[in-house]
């Protein structure tokens, strides 16, 4: 049974309050993932605060004129990245602030990608990625097995997940992706490209967990491979999909170069229960990796492994460029996957685990652990 008594504080709450004492904090992530909810919960920890949304006309005037009270302890700026020259504005505002003031900045796609064009804010902020609900975050409210099943069905975005309703989730999802394509894609592209991007998005829903062929996609949509790459970059920037690339240190010659894509919303993909499970595990692993990177400064990365002759393991974790984990995902299985066994035999120092959703008990065979997926995911960092 779904548990609606969801945690009141998101997993980044405490660490952000701690960091606000040092620098500005930026929170980025997909639309409707809970950035505003998190910001307003953090707001309750301060006595004198102000919340300003750059999409609101009156708030925009306050932002531009910097007319909040001098004794304001926390200034929350939402969607500030939509303002022209916002980086210079923030730099000047932060550098001339009162000693007791701190800034929390929230936003989506552009806030996460601005660093690619140079960073005039260097040394002034910490950046956090807020991700959808995961098994770890739900651990205190529902059993791991139920959490995995619910995430597979409803996805991890708070509204559809908490609704516990397939119908409500479907209605939410239909509006959500319509709005993103109609509004947010226009920030990155031209109106005559919308149809192709929408078509690509529909095709990607059927290709979760499979290495992508840009040439094949370009033939299907009748656009160039470079344009396909551009559109996938847009979808990634909008936090609709995320890309996992093959690990290639030491075994570069045996690895195919194509990336695999997954969706932030497991409920949106097309596929059987096994594909949805793989997407949910991918999302939990991405959240784990990003949390360790953002909060701890850990040099950790998420990959997959695949040789030229088709031997593949779903996921691999690497730290400082060195492999630490092989992770294979199965809906139901009692035997060790042959490809997982292949890689473990060749890289004995790497931890190997097979996550099985419908497993009654854990066991270990030839140094490879077969564990219940939910229990293992509940032990991740976020």
pLDDT (tens digit, 9 = 90+) per residue, 233-245? 989 989 999 999 9
Distance, CA of 156 to CA of 162 (rounded, Å): 9
Q: Is the pLDDT of residue 8 over 80?
A: no
According to the model, what pLDDT value does residue 27 have?
Answer: 95
According to the model, what pLDDT value does residue 109 have?
Answer: 64
pLDDT (tens digit, 9 = 90+) per residue, 311-357? 999 999 999 989 999 999 999 988 999 999 999 999 999 999 999 99
Q: Which two tokens stand for residue 6?
A: 């969801």
According to the model, what pLDDT value does residue 253 have?
Answer: 45
- Percentage of the chain modeled with pLDDT above 70: 92
Q: What is the mean pLDDT of the chain?
A: 90
What is the mean predicted confidence (pLDDT) over 4-27?
87
According to the model, what pLDDT value does residue 336 have?
Answer: 95
Q: Is the pLDDT of residue 251 over 80?
A: no
DSSP string of 242-301?
Answer: EEEEEP-TTTGGGB----EEEES-GGGS-S-HHHHHHHHHHHHHHHHHHHIIIII---EE
Q: Domains of the chain (ranges plus CATH)?
A: 13-129 (3.40.50.300), 135-377 (no CATH)
**Confidence band, pLDDT 50/70/90 cuts, at residue 13:** very high
According to the model, what pLDDT value does residue 146 have?
Answer: 97
Structure-derived torsion over alpha carbons of residues 248, 253, 257, 259, reported in degrees to the nearest 10: -40
Distance, CA of 125 to CA of 103 (rounded, Å): 9
According to the model, what pLDDT value does residue 254 have?
Answer: 36
Distance, CA of 61 to CA of 310 (rounded, Å): 58
| CA-angle at 70, arms to 65 and 71, nearest 5° | 145
What are the distances in angstroms from CA 258 to CA 210, 225, 269, 340, 360?
Answer: 9, 13, 20, 20, 35
Residue owning tokens 């499970």: 277
According to the model, what pLDDT value does residue 2 have?
Answer: 43
What is the mean predicted confidence (pLDDT) over 10-33?
95
Q: Whose CA is closest to 156, among 331, 304, 282, 301?
A: 282
């Amino acid at each position: 049974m779904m548990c609606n008594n969801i945690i009141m504080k998101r997993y980044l709450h405490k660490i952000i309050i701690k960091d606000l004492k040092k620098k500005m904090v930026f929170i980025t992530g997909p639309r409707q993932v809970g950035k505003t909810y998190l910001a307003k919960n953090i707001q309750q920890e301060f006595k004198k605060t102000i919340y300003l949304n750059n999409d609101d006309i009156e708030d925009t005037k306050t932002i531009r004129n910097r007319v909040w009270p001098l004794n304001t302890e926390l200034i929350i700026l939402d969607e500030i990245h939509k303002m022209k020259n916002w980086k210079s504005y923030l730099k000047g505002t932060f550098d001339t602030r009162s000693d007791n003031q701190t800034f929390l900045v929230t936003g989506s796609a552009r806030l996460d990608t601005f660093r690619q064009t140079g960073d005039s804010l260097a040394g002034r902020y910490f950046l956090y990625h807020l991700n959808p609900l995961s098994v770890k975050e739900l651990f205190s409210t529902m059993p791991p097995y139920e959490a995995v099943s619910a995430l597979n069905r409803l996805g991890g975005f708070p509204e559809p997940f908490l609704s516990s309703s397939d119908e409500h989730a479907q209605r939410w999802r239909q509006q959500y992706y319509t709005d993103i394509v109609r509004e947010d894609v226009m920030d990155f592209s031209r109106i005559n490209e919308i149809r192709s991007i929408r078509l690509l998005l529909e095709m990607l829903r059927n290709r979760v967990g499979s290495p992508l062929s840009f040439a094949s996609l370009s033939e299907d949509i009748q656009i160039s491979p470079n344009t396909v790459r551009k559109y996938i970059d847009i979808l990634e920037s909008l936090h609709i999909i995320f890309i996992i690339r093959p690990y290639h240190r030491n075994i570069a010659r045996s690895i195919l170069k194509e990336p695999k894509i997954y969706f932030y919303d497991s409920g949106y993909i097309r596929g059987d229960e096994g594909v949805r499970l793989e997407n949910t595990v991918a999302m939990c692993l991405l959240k784990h990796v990003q949390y360790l990177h953002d909060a701890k400064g850990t040099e950790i990365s998420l990959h997959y492994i695949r040789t030229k002759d088709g031997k593949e393991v779903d996921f691999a974790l690497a730290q400082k460029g060195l492999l630490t984990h092989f992770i294979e995902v199965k809906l139901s299985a009692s035997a060790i996957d042959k490809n997982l066994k292949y890689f473990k035999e060749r890289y004995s120092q790497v931890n190997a685990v097979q996550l099985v959703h419908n497993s009654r008990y854990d066991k270990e065979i030839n140094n490879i652990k077969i564990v219940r997926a939910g229990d293992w995911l509940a032990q991740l960092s976020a």
